[in-house]
Amino acid sequence: MNAYSVSLDFTKPSLFTRITLSSQIPLTMATTVNKTVRVAAAQMTSVNDLMTNFATCSRLVQEAALAGAKLICFPENFSFVGDKEGESVKIAEPLDGPVMERYCSLARDSNIWLSLGGFQERFDDTHLCNTHVVIDDAGMIRDTYQKMHLFDVDVPGGSSYKESSFTVPGTKIVSVDSPVGRLGLTVCYDLRFPKIYQQLRFEQKAQVLLVPSAFTKVTGEAHWEILLRARAIETQCYVIAAAQAGKHNEKRESYGDTLIIDPWGTVVGRLPDRVSTGIVVADIDFSLIDSVRTKMPIDKQRVSIDL
């Protein structure tokens, strides 16, 4: 049986208004139904209102649960995108605060795992941590990862960003077991640094790499898909990249294009509209992971190079 992806367009009032099935895996990498599990990745345009964003996330969670997903991944800054300088630090909370408690309840009530990438976790009065939180279907936080690579960049033809001015970088690489495989946790700008993904794959045995993001329009157009496919190919992992999309306010716009990519580098899940709010659904096929890794055993062929 060929693997397939399911793309759902929820930008119109009716549920499941668009379902696309596509056979995208070579026949030599055939799948078996009993070795697959369904995942979902969300695309949204977060604003500077916690409850508005929670309402959007709640709707998308219900859609993912109805589609049979065991995990739904949300983008960086899912709960809040500031309109003014300092807003994100002002609203930052500890992991046991009311914002995260709402999402834990949402996971429990919906019986689904949540990947919440880029939560504003309070550090002190002037700084936060950009924290990727994984919650299980019982509403318990299974693990967290704090973004290591901070976005201090002058975007060509665009704006300047200095995430380090208000964010404390993490120091620990994190993976966690889940019903959809062993997850490797990263956030957005980490995508440009392959070593973290190599360590997740070869040292921590990740099967699925999560890359919740809020890429700028300029950098997304240039590099988004090619970087994601490269990480999938070089690690032989699935990559789930939930993305912020569209204009958040007058000053900030995100590229969008939420993607799910298989270990062969094939895009198996993509929303029909790059900037719409909705979810994309695809199946994680463990037999495909095994097949790719067996036929091209790069874990055994790697050579240590000291420069």
What is the chain's pLDDT, residue by residue, as a tens digit (307 residues)? 333 333 334 333 333 222 223 333 332 333 334 499 999 999 999 999 999 999 999 999 999 999 999 999 999 999 999 988 889 999 999 999 999 999 999 999 999 999 998 999 999 999 999 999 999 999 999 999 999 999 999 988 777 888 999 999 999 999 999 999 999 999 999 999 999 999 999 999 999 999 999 999 999 999 999 999 999 999 999 999 999 999 998 888 999 999 999 999 999 999 999 999 999 999 999 999 999 999 999 999 999 887 7
pLDDT at 32: 36
pLDDT at 18: 28
pLDDT at 57: 98
pLDDT at 251: 85
pLDDT at 306: 77
pLDDT at 84: 86
Would you please indicate which residues are annotated as catalytic (active-site) residues?
76, 147, 188
What's the distance, CA 236 to chain centroid? 17
- Rounded to two decimals, the pTM is 0.88
pLDDT at 240: 98
Write down all domains in the chain, each with its CATH number in brackets. 4-296 (3.60.110.10)
